[in-house]
Amino acid sequence: MPKLREILGHPFWQAVALLVAAYLLFKWGIAVLPPLVGFPSAPVPQSVVLQYMLTALVGILIYVSYNEARWRRFKEPINATLVDANKRWLRATLLVLVPALVGFVAYDQSRPKVSAPLQLRSIHPAPPGQITVRGRTIRLAGLENPLRSRGTIEEHSREGRRVYYQNCLPCHGDLLDGKGHFAHGFSPTPLAFDDAGTIAQLTESFVFWRIAKGGPGLPREGAPWNSAMPAWEDFLTEDEIWSVIIFLYEQSGWEPRRWEVEERAEGAGHE
Amino acid sequence: MPDVLALVQAAADTAAASGYGRFPGPGARVAVWIAAQVHLMFAAFVLGVPMFAVITELIGIVGKDTKYDKLSKEFTRLLVFAYSATALWGAVLVFFLTTLYPQFWNHMARIFGPSMWLYVGLFFVESFTLYLYYYGWERWNAGRAKWGHWGLGIMLNVWGTIVMFIANGWLTYMMSPPEGVTVAGLPEGMTTWNAIANATWIPINIHRMIANAVFGGAIVAAYAAYRFLAAKTDEERAHYDWMGYVGNFIAISTFIVLPFAGYYLGREIYEYNQQMGITMMGGFMSWLWIVQAVLIGVLFLAANYYLWLGMGRIPGAERFTPYTKWMLLVLIIGWIVWATPHTMIASREELMAMGGSHHPFLNVLGVMSAKNTAVNIMILTTFLSFLLYRRANKRPTVSWAKAGTMVQAAMFVLSTGVVIFYGIYGYFVAALVRIGFSVYQVGAVLACIIGVTVIDIALVRGAESRGAIQWGRMPERAQYALFVLAVTFTWLMGLMGFARSGIRQHWHVWEVMQDTSEFAATPALGYAANVISVCVLIFLGLVAFIFWLGGLAESAMAKSVAGPTAPIPATAGGE
Amino acid sequence: MWATNLKVLALALAVVGFYTVVANIIPQLESEVPEALALGDDVTPEQLVVAGERVFNGAGQCTTCHGLGTRAPNLLTAHAGEGAIGARCGDRVAGQDCKAYLYASLTDPGAFVVAGFGNIMLDVRRQLPEDQIWAIIAFLQSLGGDVTVTGADLPTEAGGAATPAAAGPARSTTTDPMALLQENACLGCHAIDGAGPPIGPSFDGIGGRISTDRIRSGILDPDAEIAGGFEQFAGMMPKQFGDQLSAAQLETLVQFLAGRR
């Protein structure tokens, strides 16, 4: 045991151990640990693991080098491997292994694969200033849901529920979780409205724009245009779209993001 | 002869016909971009370094310490060279604009004509103040004359700041022109002043003033780092080690307030035009902020790393070394949180496993609440590093030392608590309320920094020393950390320049004058990064040349002065 | 010392390179210029002004002469102390309001030549569709005046033939070469008899310099080959002469020029 303690006390092996621990944490820990305490989780994409590992590596290098004594000890085994006579075999092995590893990674990165290339879409692209829906031009900036100022919310929500179940259910699902029975056929998958990062972050006018124009109406930064969302302006009336928006917020419990109108009005007061 | 004139006229007409001139190679946009960016970097240098010079000169006068005076003069010498580089690049920019963007320039000249004359006039005054300041250094070096000399330094800053404010008026006008402006010019009843004092003018002024101080400090530190590495004697090493510390201190302490100024600027942009704000934060520029997070993470780590290494030369600092690794851990976690993308790059299989491009768990870290919390905690940690560094070799003698330290600790705990509380609470409220929370977080951090600093100044007054700082006993790694800081600050400046300019998208003047050239589309981040890198390398190359010139002048002067100058004691300076 | 210099250089390059790589591997989004407006009858005056400005500076080639130039009146800012065109257009001709005057002077420019300028302007209908002409008028009105052009002025797509313009400009049938040079504004750029601006090659001695075929192809497809020394004016010469001149007119012109040795 003292042998192990000695090894763990050595900065070089500490660094190696930390690096391995970090990799285990990022690769599997994040996917496995949160569900144990009741949070949903999933495997972390390779690109994010790489980013995290780079950060961890920088941190570990700082750790071993911010103290002069530790830095010297850290370098000892490296130095020994490079120059000591009795480490000749280790040196030779590394000399073969390291280039081989680099070569393998390069090969693995560049060899043709069956999978589709990585692509990234901006899920919330900047909306246009105005859109034309069924021949009527609508200015999006500052636009509020017109249904909120007439009739009752229950009424609109009921209407929205009908629209949702007739049109949206197959993809966005019964629980608004984006897991309808068609959902698994699509990439990108349908949005989950119960997620804190979707409609909870958006104004109603933005949601209106996305429903009315669908995948085909995504701006350039929304590319690639492989979203399966139809342009609902061809099938629904303006009021139907607005009512389904009310239903989404009522049902999911999120509040739509508001425009900063109050503050604007104040600002205008003293000008 | 008339033929030539007619040709010139005709050429001007053609440029006017399309509104744009041609530039060989990368094209007109890149030419203007590089000229503007490099000019701006030099401008930041010649505005930031005088602030530095004046402050150090004052410390020298008040503390009767010639070391500071010498430092101040060393910088002013670099300024003289840097100043002409600024002017040269400014001239390049103006010529490029007039020949490549004649219609746009025409528009600007029509609106800002008088302010341009004022600008040129002030430039003259500023240069002559600089010459007086530098060449009068030895002449007015004592008594009341010294104060007069210091006044010159103040005036140098004042002129420089006014010059910058005028230029800021032009460029903020391009972002947020006042209502009613048309391509033809200002509407009836509006003056040039209205165009200068537009919606984003004041926030840019503040932001740039602070950023200049940061930049000045960083460049000074890099200069010192280079001289440290090149030093041949222990005295030199001690001097430049100390200079590097001061530069780093100024850069980081001003840098800590910069996000607040940036926040104010962002708010004003949203206030002026929501569309512009959305483009900036959520639209095609949203990935820019991830790159920015990487850069700022590097800055925080490099600055802290420098401080921690510096504690190796302070007797008594061993007391604090056990805490360092925990601060490092906090910084790394903060950086990871801050740079976690909301929308992840993933293959199809990974997307299916995640159930969308948002990770079900890491998603929590991708939103504003988490990022604000992370960055505030990182600021607090860096501040703590500074505090420990400052305290390292001091043993307070005041009777309330223990209680004072407890109060300081309580302040840290309290502000951390506030930051984390609002960070978590932010998940449960509407977006609009959440935006307001960042003000509380920032307020708590600022209050903690101010409160702790005030207590600390009183606390260490008359403190016993545990031993003098051994200036010069600094590993070379620390100097390279200073280089990383300087390069990163420069690159960050280029990136933010792209962000500020890019949010106008295809407008020369937002919603007034459209860019109809072939370069109207705003380039992608990769392209922008390539141009930024070229700008940074040009700037750093020229700065290296200026530093080298400074060294030449110094050795020439050292030879001409008979007899050795007073050496600086290796252990000079308590702090 | 050089080792230190190299180390510092390598460090700076590595840091800059790292940031460049990071910025290059993340998704690349370019923000493109929005599509040009399709002008329908529901177009707003603001949209017309924006579109008109673009045509004025671009496809309309108006700024070739109406820019800084001395060849035509300044439209953008005050001309002869009378204010920009939008301010002065209403009282140029008695009985014609601004809109009518601008339309007339764009489609029959010879009738409204301002004193001191040559009659060199072409009927813009040869170059631009009707809706773009109205957009230009809206833009010109916006320079110091009120925009009165509306979507109703635009020709309907159904081809209602409501406007007289739908018939197109009357074609000249003259075969007098000097008249053709005048009519087609050739002399706005080419010198003849030792007088005129040097924007294009002089017509004096042109028959001696280049072949007859080259003169013909130069009229029909001006940008195919640019005369030496005139590269910076490439693209300025209108390309519609092939559609505009009759065969007899073209041949007359070509033979006339080829004869100038």
Over the stretch A93-135, which tens digit does the pLDDT of each residue have? 999 999 999 999 999 888 887 776 666 665 666 677 677 777 6
Per-residue pLDDT of B251-308, as tens digits, reads: 888 888 888 788 888 888 877 876 677 777 766 677 788 888 889 899 999 999 999 9
Cα separation, B387 vs B380, whole angstroms: 10
Within-domain flag for C71:
yes
Largest pairwise CA distance in chain C: 86
> Do A220 and C42 count as a contact with CB atoms less than 8 A apart?
no
Smallest CA-to-CA distance from B521 within C52, C29, A123, C57 is with C29
Within-domain flag for C119:
yes
Phi, psi angle pair for B390, to nearest 5°: -65, -40
Within-domain flag for C12:
no
pLDDT at C168: 44
Chain A residue closest to C33 (CA)? A220
Tokens of B276: 């512009």
Report the number of distinct structural domains present in chain C.
Answer: 2
In a shared domain, residues C59 and C121: yes
Cα separation, C15 vs B537, whole angstroms: 11
Write out chain B residues lying below 8 Å of A57, CB-based: none
Within-domain flag for C113:
yes
CB-based contact (8 Å) between B87 and chain C? no
Smallest CA-to-CA distance from A214 within A196, A237, A233, A199 is with A233
In a shared domain, residues C53 and C144: yes
Query: Above 70 in pLDDT, residue A216?
Result: yes
**Length of chain C in terms of residues written:** 261
Smallest CA-to-CA distance from B376 within B417, B428, B429 is with B417
> Do A221 and C31 count as a contact with CB atoms less than 8 A apart?
yes
In a shared domain, residues C163 and C181: no
Q: What is the mean pLDDT of chain A?
A: 81
CATH number at residue C116: 1.10.760.10
Chain C nearest-CA distance from A121, in A, is: 8
| Domain final residue pick, C139, C167, C195 | C167
**Looking at the partner chain, which of C26, C32, C42 has a beta carbon nearest the beta carbon of A220?**
C32
**Looking at the partner chain, which of C16, C29, C236 has a beta carbon nearest the beta carbon of B487?**
C16
Per-residue pLDDT of C135-192, as tens digits, reads: 888 888 888 777 888 777 776 543 333 333 333 445 567 778 888 887 777 877 788 8
- The answer to whether the bond into C222 is cis (omega within 30° of 0) is no
Chain A 88-117, residues with CB within 8 Å of chain B CB atoms:
115-116
Within-domain flag for C7:
no
Cα separation, C52 vs C58, whole angstroms: 10
CATH code for the domain defined by A130-261: 1.10.760
> Do A122 and C42 count as a contact with CB atoms less than 8 A apart?
no
In a shared domain, residues C162 and C214: no
Beta bridge partners of B394: B465
Beta bridge partners of B509: B513
Work out the burial of residue A161: count CB atoms within 10 Å of its CB; fewer than 13 is exposed, 13-18 middle, 19 or more buried: middle
Within-domain flag for C240:
yes
Residue matched to tokens 């307070």 = B396
* DSSP-derived secondary structure for B372-404: HHHHHHHHHHHHHHHHHHHHTTEE--STTHHHH
| More reliable by pLDDT, B554 or B104 | B104
The domain of C52 spans: 45-167
In a shared domain, residues C143 and C49: yes
Smallest CA-to-CA distance from B254 within B106, B149, B437, B383 is with B383
Cα separation, C173 vs C175, whole angstroms: 7
Cα separation, A233 vs B355, whole angstroms: 27
Residue matched to tokens 């640990």 = A33
Query: Above 80 in pLDDT, residue B245?
Result: yes
Beta bridge partners of B513: B509
In a shared domain, residues C106 and C62: yes
Largest pairwise CA distance in chain B: 90
**C117 C-beta neighbours (distance < 10 Å), count:** 13
**Looking at the partner chain, which of B309, B355, B432 has a beta carbon nearest the beta carbon of A260?**
B432
Chain A 126-145, residues with CB within 8 Å of chain B CB atoms:
126-127, 129, 141-142
Complex ipTM value: 0.84
The secondary structure of residue B565, as a DSSP letter, is P
Contacts of C145 (CB under 8 A, 6+ apart): C84, C85, C86, C87, C89, C90, C98
In a shared domain, residues C69 and C162: yes
Cα separation, B393 vs B317, whole angstroms: 6
Task: State the pLDDT confidence band at A21, using cuts at 50, 70 and 90.
Answer: very high
Task: State the pLDDT confidence band at B246, using cuts at 50, 70 and 90.
Answer: confident
pLDDT at B357: 67
Give the torsion through C-alpha atoms of B168, B169, B171, B176, to 10 deg: 130
* DSSP-derived secondary structure for A117-143: PP----SSPPPPSEEEETTEEEE-TT-
Chain A nearest-CA distance from C149, in A, is: 20
Within-domain flag for C229:
yes
**B232 C-beta neighbours (distance < 10 Å), count:** 8
> Do B328 and A39 count as a contact with CB atoms less than 8 A apart?
no
**Looking at the partner chain, which of A42, A188, A191 has a beta carbon nearest the beta carbon of B360?**
A42
Within-domain flag for C15:
no
Query: Above 60 in pLDDT, residue B248?
Result: yes
Neighbours of chain B (3+ CB pairs under 8 A): A, C
Write out chain A residues lying below 8 Å of B504, CB-based: none
Average pLDDT over residues B340-349: 76
Phi, psi angle pair for B573, to nearest 5°: 85, 125
Per-residue pLDDT of B483-539, as tens digits, reads: 999 999 999 999 999 988 888 878 888 878 877 777 878 888 888 999 999 999 999
Smallest CA-to-CA distance from C24 within A118, B525, B231 is with B525
The SS3 call for residue B507 is strand
> Do C31 and A137 count as a contact with CB atoms less than 8 A apart?
no
Smallest CA-to-CA distance from A212 within A132, A126, A128 is with A132
In a shared domain, residues C248 and C140: no
Cα separation, B291 vs B281, whole angstroms: 13
In a shared domain, residues C162 and C203: no
| Domain final residue pick, C167, C193, C228 | C167
Tokens of B102: 């004649």
Beta bridge partners of B185: B182
For residues B160 and B137, the answer to whether their CB atoms sit within 8 Å is: no
Tokens of A235: 């099938």
**A258 C-beta neighbours (distance < 10 Å), count:** 14
Neighbours of chain A (3+ CB pairs under 8 A): B, C
In a shared domain, residues C158 and C52: yes
Interface residues on A facing C, Cβ-Cβ cutoff 8 A:
119-120, 122, 135, 137, 220-221
> Do A137 and C42 count as a contact with CB atoms less than 8 A apart?
yes
Phi, psi angle pair for B182, to nearest 5°: -125, 175
Cα separation, B147 vs B161, whole angstroms: 21
Cα separation, B70 vs B56, whole angstroms: 9
> Do B279 and A178 count as a contact with CB atoms less than 8 A apart?
no
**B205 C-beta neighbours (distance < 10 Å), count:** 18
- Which amino acid is residue B257, in one-letter code? V
Write out chain B residues lying below 8 Å of C139, CB-based: none
Alpha helices in B426-520 (DSSP H): 431-459, 476-502
Beta bridge partners of C192: C195
Q: What is the mean pLDDT of chain B?
A: 83
> Do A41 and B427 count as a contact with CB atoms less than 8 A apart?
no
In a shared domain, residues C130 and C66: yes
